[in-house]
């Protein structure tokens, strides 16, 4: 009896010590989000042409993730998975410009329950309001105007006894690439990634895109400066993420890494080692559980507002990676998933569902309606002349341009890439008999994920999602039906 009491006392002491170790002041949270920026297009991730001093400084002060992924390479589904911890089909916002299912909860609910005030400045691209009841700190157009920054400053500085979570969602470098100083860049001097054809339009458009990335970088610097001026730098967990990839073929609106992979840097003084890097594979749905744990909550006990969690309950699809942040783990996910629907995007194909799964080495992509022609604004509107220039280069014998132009619109049913030897996914191995087992394994994993998500592929693509398109101006051009 004495022995068991002693054991119990020991457990109690250990449990108390653990609770004390996890306790502490709740950090403020500053989340700065880019828009359509390819993950490697900043100095911290290796691009030597684009000027990003603030992103690079943040990386020097925090942890750089090399394998963070969104599951969807377009704006509204990306943001709604990031804020809900739920993958797009399960939360309902899988077409672009669509909304989550009624009742879905977001980080606003979860962090408020932990005592936070939760605000957003800039781009929203979510709905309905009940699922994302952010305090509106400032509307869109935060780039050059003074007033939004006065409002951001006031939000950061008020109510010092209450922790805040502030999302600053920039619209840069989303097309049309008209912000920043393109004249500061010399297109002829650029070192192009091997996935881009070296054409005049590629270089000219990159100059405009880089200029707008520098504009985004300045916004990050401004936000970090306001936190520092308020004396809150040491008590604030700061995140920068690039969102999904560039609006060029094989970037936005695809499941290639150029679309899904994202820059992700976390500074958390006293918790995250400055200047560190992790190769752990993580996804945007893992962020909300991580923030809940950082705020002292228990992500496993949270009701996400939706059924169909991996364990059959109502929890998140994502899992907290706080042990990665604290240097206690260098692995998180074994598999990363992707989903794309062309319904709901401007000039999108009638139905061209794409699903993908990736492990550390291989990427499997399924084109579920591959006989259709893949279309979107890149191919049908071509406002910057890039597509026409690539087609011209292809006709004149540029082999990379020819392959990219052809494969962008006409793809096989299965694609397989070895990311170790082919990081830009240019050499499709799906027809290689030696890869049959890899394909079968990844296809099983993808099937399992789609079942958990309630994703029936083409049939899901054609379901008229309940919920109004979030941008009424685009309504006429979209194929997502609205509420009856």
Question: Contact residues for Ca ion (CB under 5 A)?
Answer: 35-36, 75, 243
Q: How far apart are CA 79 and CA 75, in angstroms?
A: 6
Q: Which is nearer to Ca ion, 44 or 76 (CB)?
A: 76
Q: Which is nearer to Ca ion, 251 or 308 (CB)?
A: 251
Which SS3 state, helix, strand or coil, does residue 86 take?
A: coil
Q: How are strands ordered across the β-sheet holding 135-138?
A: 135-138, 117-122, 164-169, 28-33, 236-241, 261-267, 63-69, 276-283
- Closest CB 425 distance from Ca ion, rounded Å: 20
Q: How far apart are CA 417 and CA 425, in angstroms?
A: 6
- Closest CB 24 distance from Ca ion, rounded Å: 35
| 8 Å CB contact between 56 and 43 | yes
- Closest CB 89 distance from Ca ion, rounded Å: 19
What are the distances in angstroms from CA 147 to CA 48, 141, 170, 447? 33, 10, 15, 49
Q: Which is nearer to Ca ion, 42 or 446 (CB)?
A: 42
Task: Give the pair of three-digit tokens for residue 276.
Answer: 């560190």
Which SS3 state, helix, strand or coil, does residue 473 take?
A: helix
Q: Which is nearer to Ca ion, 57 or 97 (CB)?
A: 97
- Closest CB 36 distance from Ca ion, rounded Å: 4
- Closest CB 274 distance from Ca ion, rounded Å: 29
For 471, list phi and psi in degrees, rounded to 5. -110, 105
Q: Which is nearer to Ca ion, 256 or 449 (CB)?
A: 256
Q: How far apart are CA 191 and CA 183, in angstroms?
A: 17
Residue at shortest CB range from Ca ion: 75
- Closest CB 252 distance from Ca ion, rounded Å: 7
- How many C-beta atoms surround the C-beta of residue 53 within 10 A? 14
356 forms beta bridges with 338, 365
Q: Which is nearer to Ca ion, 70 or 320 (CB)?
A: 70
| 8 Å CB contact between 245 and 39 | yes
Q: Which is nearer to Ca ion, 75 or 442 (CB)?
A: 75
- Closest CB 174 distance from Ca ion, rounded Å: 6
């Amino acid at each position: 009896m004495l022995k068991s009491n002693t054991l119990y006392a020991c457990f109690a002491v250990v449990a108390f010590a653990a609770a004390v170790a996890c306790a502490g002041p709740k950090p403020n949270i500053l989340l700065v989000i880019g828009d359509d920026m390819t993950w490697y297009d900043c100095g911290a991730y290796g691009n030597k042409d684009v000027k990003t001093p603030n992103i690079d400084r943040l990386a020097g002060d925090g942890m750089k993730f090399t394998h963070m992924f969104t599951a969807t390479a377009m704006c509204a589904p990306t943001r709604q998975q990031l804020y809900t911890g739920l993958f797009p089909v399960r939360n309902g916002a899988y077409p672009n410009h669509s909304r989550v299912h009624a009742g879905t909860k977001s980080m606003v609910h979860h962090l408020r329950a932990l005592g936070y005030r939760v605000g957003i400045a800039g781009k929203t691209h979510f709905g309905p309001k009940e699922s994302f009841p952010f305090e509106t700190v400032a509307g869109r157009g935060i780039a050059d105007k003074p007033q939004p920054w006065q409002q951001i400053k006031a939000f950061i500085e008020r109510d010092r006894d209450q922790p805040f979570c502030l999302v600053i969602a920039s619209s840069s470098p989303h097309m049309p690439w008209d912000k920043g100083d393109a004249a500061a860049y010399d297109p002829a001097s650029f070192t192009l990634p091997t996935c881009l054809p070296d054409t005049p339009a590629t270089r000219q458009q990159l100059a405009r895109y880089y200029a707008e990335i520098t504009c985004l970088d300045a916004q990050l610097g401004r936000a970090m400066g306001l936190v520092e001026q308020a004396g809150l730098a040491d008590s604030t967990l700061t995140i920068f993420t690039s969102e999904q990839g560039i609006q060029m073929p094989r970037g936005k609106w695809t499941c290639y890494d150029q679309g899904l992979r994202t820059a992700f840097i976390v500074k958390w003084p006293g918790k995250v080692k400055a200047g560190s890097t992790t190769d752990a594979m993580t996804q945007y749905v893992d962020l909300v559980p991580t923030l809940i744990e950082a705020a002292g909550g228990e992500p496993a006990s949270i009701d996400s507002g939706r059924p169909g969690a991996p364990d059959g309950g109502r929890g998140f699809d994502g899992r907290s990676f706080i042990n990665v942040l604290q240097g206690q783990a260098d692995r998180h996910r074994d598999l990363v998933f992707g989903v794309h629907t062309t319904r709901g995007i401007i000039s999108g194909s009638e139905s061209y569902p794409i699903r993908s799964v990736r492990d550390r080495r291989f990427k499997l992509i399924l084109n579920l309606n591959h006989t259709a022609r893949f279309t979107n604004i890149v191919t049908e509107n071509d406002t910057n002349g890039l597509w026409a220039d690539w087609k011209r280069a292809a006709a004149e014998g540029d082999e990379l341009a020819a392959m990219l132009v052809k494969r962008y619109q006409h793809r096989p049913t299965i694609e397989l890439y070895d990311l170790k030897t082919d990081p830009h996914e240019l050499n499709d191995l799906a027809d290689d008999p030696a890869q049959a087992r890899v394909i079968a394994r990844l296809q099983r994993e993808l099937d399992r994920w789609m079942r958990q998500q309630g994703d029936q592929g083409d049939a899901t693509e054609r379901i008229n999602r309940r919920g109004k398109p979030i941008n009424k101006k685009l309504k006429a051009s979209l194929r997502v039906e609205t509420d009856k």
